[in-house]
Amino acid sequence: MFKFYYHIVKKYTSQYLLLIILFTITNALSLVTPYALKIIIDKTIPHGTYNDLVQIILVLLACYIIRIGLAFYSGILYVNVSRRIVADIRRILYKNLLHKETSFFKESKTGELIYFLTNDVDKVQNFFSSTLLNYINNVMVVVGVISVMFYFNVGLTLISLVIFPLVIINTFVLKGKIKESYLQLVDIEGNIYNYFLERIRNIRVLKSNNVFLNEIQTLNTYHDQWREHAVKNTYWNGISSNITTFLIAIGPLIVLLYGGKLIYSKVLTIGTLIAFIQYLNRIYAPIIALAVGVNEFFQSKVSMKRIYDNIDTNHENDSSGEEVEEVHSIVLKDIDVKYNDKVILHNFNYTFRKGKTYGIKGRSGIGKSTMANLIMKFVKSDSGQIFINNIPLEKVKNLYSLAALIEKENQLFHDTISNNIRYGSEKKENIELEEILRMSCLAEVVNKLHDKEHTTITFSGSMLSDGEKQRIAIARAFHKQPDIIIFDEATASLDIKLEYSIIQSIREKLPHAIILIISHRNNLNEFCDEIIDFEKITHENNTKLLVTS
């Protein structure tokens, strides 16, 4: 898992090194002030002049200005690197999600997937930028300060460091509880994401069933669980951090006791003790940050694993395979498909040829849409093979440029009508948008809108009827000009006359296309060359497949 993330982060090595160099300089400059204070107390004020004091103050002022400038540049560089890491991880995760079979999305909670792409990615980015860089910076501060402290007095330094092993032990003893509580918190947050997404999508169902009170109660239950896990996570984090804070608070007391004895014994000067305590105070924050950083790492590791578990590093590379210029045939050979031990297709064989329109009918759940999903590579068969022009389907590089699937469900984006129609299409100038609107029977609808084809529609297409939404998806297929067009109940909201007109327009403009029309309607004979009746398919013998011309 870490090797995977390393390959993402390694290209920013030069920026990391630059940040480390900047940290080194700023940390070195921060060590100047206590030492200068020692010189002022022990030497300048008792034995020097006012001009000597002014010179030291000017040196300190110059150090402050340089530190501010370097910190400002470091902040800009840090944000640039961290946002690039977010973009890289999110892009890889999104690309992998796009390559997964459609069954994955049916079985997964959409809210959790969105949580991966947002919160989990942010937490991983936080580790590789903020947590990791701060850890490096804090280690440098601790090493630098301890080195100076040893230079001042070895014995006093060793006494002051006694508490730090206890801080480390405290952190690692409680890490299991912190990790467990954080994992539970992340899970419930993902459930809340999914809850809101599902309810907003199904708002019509909520309203029509008058379940507002029940939904609020359900949300309250989720929030009770969320609050419980958040309190539990804060509880263990609080115990760890407060024990650390208490242990570190003991440090100055020990130093004052032992340092005071050294001053009374004339072994240590007052200026040295004051500078020593200042250095000790400067080491507390980094030590606490290092302890907290360990907890943040364990929390980030949870998100890192959740993301990594959803990434298939061996997914099929779309750049491999063969290009098909024109589809002449689609051959399904000996296809078997099972869902949860239920046989959907058994020993299925069929050949679709260019220029023909095929009607596919049968009751729900009998395998019509499964056949379409197989051709679109959305699912894989348990056995058998599919060929396009005698090329195995998995070897066809440009399948999605050749095929268009139009489904009954809403297929709109929050964008203009024209962009919805052009979505996913390469530029093809031989069919104008006006002609596409006319062929898909949308011209009259679009012309009535305020901005015509430039009108912005929502994801739900609230200003459009179900039939108009389907016609936009059909217009998208027109614009794409594919060799394979699959209507999966895509004309269910259209009247028969409108359906016939659209199919005829497609056939006239795309005479060589293979058209598959999956429908429950009985009027397929009017515009189909062959009818495939899935009711006649038996699992024992597929030769009973009824085909009429």
| DSSP state string for 516-539 | EEE-S-S-GGGT-SEEEEGGG--S
Cβ burial, residue 361 (10 Å; 0-12/13-18/19+)? buried
Distance from C-alpha of 375 to C-alpha of 487, rounded to nearest angstrom:
13
CB atoms within 10 A of CB 31: 17
The two tokens of residue 33 are 């002030």
Domain range annotation of the chain: 2-309, 329-548
Distance from C-alpha of 206 to C-alpha of 201, rounded to nearest angstrom:
10
Distance from C-alpha of 94 to C-alpha of 118, rounded to nearest angstrom:
11
Are 353 and 514 in contact by the 8 Å Cβ rule? The answer is yes
Residue 271 CA: distances (Å) to CA of 28, 44, 364, 466, 511: 20, 11, 88, 82, 94
Q: Which of 408, 409, 498, 416 is nearest to 458 (CA)?
A: 416
DSSP 398: T
Q: Domain 329-548, what architecture? A: 3-Layer(aba) Sandwich (3.40)
| Buried/exposed 439-475: b ≥16 CB within 10 Å, e otherwise | bbbbbebbeeeeeebeeebeeebeebeebbbbbbbbb
Q: Domain 2-309, what architecture? A: Up-down Bundle (1.20)
Q: Which of 188, 35, 10, 220 is nearest to 109 (CA)?
A: 188
The two tokens of residue 391 are 């090329």
Helix pair 32-39, 13-30: axis angle to 10 deg? 20
The two tokens of residue 108 are 């997964």
Span between the terminal Cα atoms of the chain, in Å: 56
Distance from C-alpha of 545 to C-alpha of 538, rounded to nearest angstrom:
8
Distance from C-alpha of 332 to C-alpha of 358, rounded to nearest angstrom:
14
Distance from C-alpha of 361 to C-alpha of 382, rounded to nearest angstrom:
23
Per-residue pLDDT of the chain (549 residues; tens, 9 = 90+): 778 888 888 888 888 889 888 888 988 888 888 888 888 888 888 888 889 889 989 998 998 999 899 988 988 888 888 788 878 878 887 887 777 766 677 666 766 777 777 777 777 777 776 677 777 888 888 888 888 888 888 888 888 888 778 877 777 777 777 777 777 887 888 778 778 877 777 776 777 677 778 888 888 888 888 888 888 888 887 887 788 778 777 877 888 888 888 888 888 888 888 888 888 878 777 877 776 677 677 777 777 887 777 776 555 444 567 888 888 999 999 888 887 778 888 888 889 999 898 888 877 777 788 888 888 888 888 888 999 988 888 888 888 888 888 887 767 787 888 888 888 776 555 567 888 888 888 888 888 888 888 888 876 666 778 788 888 888 888 888 888 999 888 666 677 788 788 888 888 888 898 999 888 777 777 778 888 887 776 444 444 444 444
